Structure 1
Amino acid sequence: MFMPIEFRRRISFVATIALISTLSAALAGCSEEKSETADVVRPVKVVEIAQADAARQLSYSGAVRARTEMNLGFRVSGKIVERIVNVGDRVNVGDLLARIDATDYELAVRSATANLEAAERQVETVELVRDRAKQLLARKFASQAQFDQAVLSYNQAVATRDAAKSALSQAKNQVIYTNLVADRPGIVTAINADVGQVVGSGTPVATVAVEGEKEVQVAVPETEIGNFKAGLPVKVGIWSDAGLSLDGMVREVAGSADQQSRTFSVRVSLPNDPRVLLGMTATVEASAGSGTPFVSVPLSALAEKDGYPIVWVVDRGTETVRSRPVMLADFTTDGVRVTEGLKFGDLVVAAGTQFMTDNLKVTISNDTTRQAAAAAETSLVR
């Protein structure tokens, strides 16, 4: 069959295009297959382990309070008829805080006064009898027994008079005790009873924080109380003033734990500073020694494998990662403390641990390494 030359040229051109397309597709498939089989290199952020440290920082919050607080109450019972002070008032020695009804005690004073006068008259009477008996004995008109009886009556009258004097003094003191006064300067921090209330002797009516040394009281768990001893220097920060840092000292450690919270009360003495006011929130920081050195890593670096904690460590030579089991000490606000499994200079993957597999190729930038090392050193300092 005869075909025109132009038609044969068109068929040849189409065949050539089809062959080129087939070859291109084949080459592309080979390229994709080669790309798929190539090693994956993942960029990572790492932290370099700093020198292990055996000290750790303990931090507890508490409130500033006066070293001495007095719960003042009346020394006699009665009904409160007047309260002079309010919470926050500053008082000095002898200032009147409150009064109770003194009517009954004033009547007791009158009764004791009358009893004393009667006792004194009785002494005068028996004294005359004694002197008369003495004169009669000298003249032989009275026996020795009569004189001895007169002397005994006189001594009994004197004793009764002395008892009446003491009763009168006691009654007068009770009148004085109807006034509640401050015996030391300070600030009223609480009112526990008010006008109209009947209180017994010793019932707290007002609490006064004595001026002078201040302290911070914190609650320390039983697992850490062994790190606190009297005389231990600590750092105290005030929450309301971030720039204020004071040198405190442990003054007292409770000998037994609180029955409900199971914590021990620790009192820390503060230096005199007018910026520190009663009731302010304070933070007590102390360094605690640990028998086992530890290193700190970010919490994001921690992973889990077969139910055990691990971290991913970068091999500097092969630039691959391997999982490494670690033993944890405790968790902090900045990360986690590790006691076993890491050493100085190790590079630990700090982020993206969920994408890590053993022998995975990674790439690390110098900036990331330097920043991670600085962060690790900062974490250890804290």
Structure 2
Amino acid sequence: MNKKVARLVSYGVFAVFLTACSDNSQTDTETTATPVATVAIETAETPSSEYTAALVPRYQTDLGFQVSGKVSSRQVEAGQKVSKGQTLATLDDVDYVQRKQAAEAALKAAKQNLQKAENDLRRGKELYQSNAIGEQQLESYQLAYESAQDQFQQAQSQQQQAQNALEYTRLKAPESGTVVAINADPGLVVSAGQPVVQLAQGEQHQVVFDLPADKPVTESATLMLNGQELPLSLFSQSGALDPLSFTRRVRYNLEQPLDDALFGQLATVLVVNTDYDNGQLLAVPIAAIDQRGEHAQIWRIESGKAATTEVQVMELTTQQALIKSDNLAVGDVIISQGINRITEGQSVKAVN
């Protein structure tokens, strides 16, 4: 009887032991799987960037006096709108008035000398016809008349130049526009051609800013100013990169006039990257991108195992990577954290 009881107890203990071993095996399998965080792939918005730009005029001209002298007055200020022909600044014209008077006096004398030479020639021809003088004397009258003509023309030219020089002491606006800057304080001595006024002709605005070398130049952009979003179109781009900043300067035309904006004012330009093809862009966390191989890749969970999928990184933002892949779609679940602790085929489990 005691032997039977002992045998039954032994069978019970063995059964309990087998059950415990089975449970421990299952528990060990679960604990060996590496925990990872997962996330669903999202649709990416078209990449865009914001830049600080300056409002500049479409046409800007540096104006200067055509003669040298001392500035006597300036009649406009920076930011002032002017009309065509309006006087902007003047030079001291005392010397130029005297030159004009001297040129007019020389012209008057040359005119009188020409009239005398003309009279002498006419009288000489009459005397020559009456054989009162010889051919040599007539030629002298002719030469004197031609010389008087040359002197008169020269005096006319000098008088016109003196008149022009006097007019050049007044700097006038060649076209209607806005004064951007002026450096014509009274008393300043300037040389001919020295820029003293910057004039923005017309009302058309442009924006100018520096674009990083790795960013594409787009045909259109958006100006954000005073709560408005205004369309821009590409006007020009620099043909060379700045060797220090590795940027290129670009200019965009503003399609409509701005009444409440000043030249030189700063604004924000939004540039949308339209350089991608029609392939769909996907958004994933930056931490999900694994760069340990030859190509960028992300990790997925397939039948409890970690598996990689090659991707092409198109753009990086502050938090997301914009990618393209033929093997992924919106909504697919990928491993978002812990990728540095896993290898291909390793057992993993999501802990989200």
**TM-score with structure 2 length normalisation?**
0.78
Q: Is the 8 A contact 2:86 2:172 kept in 1?
A: yes
What residue is the counterpart of 1:344 in the other structure? Answer: 329
Q: Secondary structure at the match of 1:184?
A: coil
- Do the aligned partners of 1:120 and 1:161 also contact (CA within 8 Å) in 2? yes
In structure 2, the residue matched to 1:48 is: 41
Could you tell me which runs of 5 or more consecutive residues in structure 2 were left unpaired when the two chains were aligned.
1-19
Matches within 5 A, 1:321-336: 321-324=306-309, 326-336=311-321
Note if contact 2:233-2:255 (Cα within 8 Å) is conserved in structure 1.
no
Task: Please tell me whether residue 249 in structure 1 is matched to residue 237 in structure 2.
Answer: no
What CA distance in whole angstroms lies between the structure 2 residues aligned with 1:93 and 1:210?
A: 10
> Structure 2 matches for 1:223-234, cutoff 5 A?
223-224=214-215, 227-228=217-218, 232=219, 234=220
* The one of 341, 355, 359 aligned to 2:347: 359
Change (3 A) 1:335 1:275: farther
Q: Which SS does the other structure have where 2:163 is aligned?
A: helix
Structure 1 position 99 matched with structure 2 position 84: no
Of stretches 171-180 and 250-259 in structure 1, the one that deviates more from structure 2 is: 250-259
The match for 2:224 is 238
2:274 counterpart SS class: strand
Aligned to 2:287: 300
What is the Cα deviation at residue 328 of structure 1? 3.4
1:216 CA displacement: 1.3
Q: Determine the C-alpha separation between the residues in 2 that align with 1:259 and 1:105.
A: 49
Structure 2 residue corresponding to 1:186, chosen from 177, 202, 218:
177
The answer as to 2:109 corresponding to 1:118 is yes
Alpha-carbon distance in structure 1 between the residues aligned to 2:221 and 2:295: 37
* SS of residue in 2 equivalent to 1:94: coil
The residue aligned with 2:300 is 313
Name the CA distance, whole Å, in 2 between partners of 1:239 and 1:353: 44
> Partner of 2:269 in structure 1?
283
Distance 1:235 1:131, change over 3 A: same
**1:95–1:351 CA distance, 2 compared to 1 (3 A):** farther
Structure 2 CA distance for aligned equivalents of residues 314 and 103 of structure 1 = 92
Counterpart AA for 1:135: E
RMSD in angstroms over aligned alpha carbons?
3.5
Deviation for aligned residue 1:221: 4.2
Task: Determine if contact 1:240/1:280 at 8 Å carries over to the other structure.
Answer: no
Deviation at 1:260, TM superposition (A): 5.2
Question: Match of 1:252, as an amino acid?
Answer: S
Change (3 A) 1:257 1:38: closer
| Consecutive unaligned residues in structure 1, runs of 5 or more | 1-28, 365-382
* Stretch of structure 1 that moved more, 289-298 or 200-209: 289-298
User: Cα deviations across residues 182-201 of structure 1 (Å, max 9, x unaligned)?
Assistant: 22222222123422221111
TM value normalised by structure 1: 0.72
- How far residue 65 of structure 1 moved from its aligned partner, in angstroms, is 1.4
Q: Percent identity?
A: 25
Amino acid at match of 1:360: V
**1:46 partner letter:** V
Task: Flag the 1:44–1:261 CA change in 2: closer, same or farther, 3 A.
Answer: closer
- State the number of aligned residues: 326
The answer (yes or no) to whether the contact 1:62–1:282 under 8 Å persists in 2 is: yes
Contact 1:213–1:270 (Cα < 8 Å) also in 2 = yes
Separation in structure 2 between the aligned mates of residue 61 and residue 128 of structure 1, nearest angstrom: 77
In the alignment, which residue of structure 2 is the partner of 1:19?
Answer: none
Shift of 1:86: 2.1
The equivalent residue for 1:140 is 131
| Equivalence for 1:274 | 259
When structure 1 is superposed on structure 2, of 137-146 and 188-197 the one drifting more is 188-197
- Give the superposition deviation at 1:155: 2.0
Q: Distance in 2 between matches of 1:188 and 1:142?
A: 70
Residue identity opposite 1:169 in structure 2: Q
Whichever residue aligns with residue 271 of structure 1, its letter is: E
Aligned twin of 1:63: 54
Secondary structure of residue in 1 paired with 2:187: coil
One-letter identity of the residue aligned with 2:285: P
Per the TM alignment, residue 239 of structure 1 is displaced from its structure 2 partner at its CA by 4.9
Q: Please give the alpha-carbon distance, in whole angstroms, between the structure 2 residues aligned to 1:258 and 1:362.
A: 49
Instruction: Find the partner of 1:87 among 78, 83, 87.
Output: 78
Match in the other structure for 1:372: none
Separation of aligned partners in 2, 1:143 and 1:333: 105
Distance 2:242 2:125 in 1: 73
In the TM superposition, what whole-angstrom CA distance separates every residue of 1:139-171 from its partner, at most 9, and x where no partner exists?
Answer: 012223322331222122122112211211111
Judged with a 3 Å threshold, the aligned counterparts in structure 2 of structure 1 residues 250 and 193 are, in CA distance, closer, same or farther, namely: same
Equivalent position of 1:265 in the other structure: 249
Match of 2:188 in 1: 197
